[in-house]
Structure 1
Amino acid sequence: MSAIAPTSNDNPYAALGLSSNTATTARSNGLGQADFLRLMSEQMKNQDPLKPLDGQQFLAQLAQFSTVQGIEQMNSAMGAVASVMESDQTLRAASLVGREALVEANAFQFSGEGTLRGEVVAEGAGAVQVDILDANGQRVARRTVQASAAGPVAWQWDGRDDAGRPVAAGAYTIKAGSGVGDNAATLPVRMVARVDSVSIEPTGLTLNLSGLGGFALGSVRRIS
């Protein structure tokens, strides 16, 4: 009668020539159901007759595998749901092309024609001045609007300087302040621009606004 080489129950993977560390690495790298069942079969065939595998240990290993397999299936299902949601969000965002979005911005690229519109967030009732500055920081135009209370106040600029002459195309910035004068307190500025396209970025959906650049969908204040 041939002798059966004893196998330590502490390392059920020894029958396959695997150390405990190697088996752990293989399992973490994607041990599948077939691999697990093969390991369990080899463990049972090569166990020491004088020290058979504990039934509770066997059940614990089965339960552990079932838990890991369930988590993997849940992760796959969640990934599929996220993919569907992303596709649906992209389709919805594509319908925004051609519409106008309101975002917080104070720098823009002026084409040389058209009217620029937006809002200034006033701190209270009173005069609010909106300055248009060129690339050198020089003021080319100033518009004053009246706020009846704290909150958004609409403003617009027709692309002309204070003398009524059209300004050249180029990069401009907007500075808004409460009160009148060069020492007016700075106020947040919002601008309206047309949605030219939608981009899918690693950080999410981005709306590409005419003259303003890219803005995350979540940063849009209003769509009209």
Structure 2
Amino acid sequence: MMSAIQQASSQTAASAATTGITAKKNAENPQDRFLKLLVTQMKNQDPLKPLDNAEVTSQLAQISTVTGIDKLNTTLQLLTSDVEDSLSMEATGMIGHSAFVPGTAIKLEKDSAVAGIELAQPVDQLKITILDSAGIPVRHLDLGAHPTGVSTIPWDGQTDSGAKAADGNYTFSVSAKQGGNEIKASTLSLGLVNSVSLGENGALLDMGELGFANLSDIKRVF
């Protein structure tokens, strides 16, 4: 009895393996399956009503299109994978570097602080207002004309009264005008890239007190 059961189990396993291999082979060769069906159809066609040439050509064109799309999808997947690997390497190379990311935070240490701005067009009037933790303005900087792109804004810690501001965390706001018209200006905070991790949307950079930032958020690296 045991021998019969073992034999039956072996036959079942062999059958399952054969079925799996056959299914895999069929899944991997859709074009071969189509051609076999087409040949079978042609062999069994009614001699008095043969297949129309246009119909055969149309069917061949369809399988060719499907095959081409499959190959294109495979190529795009490979390209996407290569791009993701390249971006991950780029993000890893930023560890230990300072970088500008969107934000309004500015940190004063030893009478030195750095903020950043990004302008989509040149302006003839640019003003920066630095505020303490209570939201009270402590310094107004009139920087005049400024070009397009990312610019670094230094602050030596001096307040409007001439006194030295205490080290710590501050925020800042920007006012930009061109010919009297308000121009949108993006504020940037400077932070240190501590580490990189992979998220659903790509590489995530740990910017310490500034939180996490996407690789696309990086505006300039130092």
TM superposition score normalised by structure 2: 0.62
SS in 1 for 2:96: coil
Structure 1 residue 146 displacement after superposition: 4.3
Q: Which residue of 2 aligns with 1:81?
A: 79
1:155 corresponds to 2:151: no
Match of 1:52 among 44, 50, 53: 50
Q: Which residue of 2 aligns with 1:95?
A: 93
Match of 2:188 among 165, 187, 190: 190
Structure 1 residue 40 displacement after superposition: 1.1
Q: Which residue of 2 aligns with 1:8?
A: none
CA distance in 1, matches of 2:210, 2:82: 30
Amino acid in the other structure paired with 1:216: N
CA distance in 1, matches of 2:155, 2:29: 64
Amino acid in the other structure paired with 1:155: P
Unmatched 5+ stretches in structure 1: 1-28, 179-184
Structure 1 residue 206 displacement after superposition: 3.5
SS in 1 for 2:192: strand
CA distance in 1, matches of 2:142, 2:172: 17
Contact 1:145 1:155 in 2 (8 A): no
When the two structures are aligned, how many residues end up with a matched partner? Answer: 179
Change (3 A) 1:48 1:102: same
Change (3 A) 1:154 1:44: same
Q: Which residue of 2 aligns with 1:132?
A: 131
Change (3 A) 1:216 1:166: closer
Change (3 A) 1:150 1:164: closer
Q: Which one has the bigger helix percentage? A: 2
SS in 2 for 1:102: strand
SS in 2 for 1:53: coil
Deviation digits for residues 13-36 of structure 1 (CA, Å, limit 9, x no counterpart): xxxxxxxxxxxxxxxx99812321
Contact 2:130 2:139 in 1 (8 A): yes
Match of 2:115 among 113, 118, 121: 118
Contact 1:175 1:186 in 2 (8 A): no
Amino acid in the other structure paired with 2:141: V
Match of 2:139 among 140, 143, 159: 143
TM superposition score normalised by structure 1: 0.62
Contact 2:173 2:187 in 1 (8 A): yes
Unmatched 5+ stretches in structure 2: 1-26, 177-182
Change (3 A) 1:156 1:208: farther
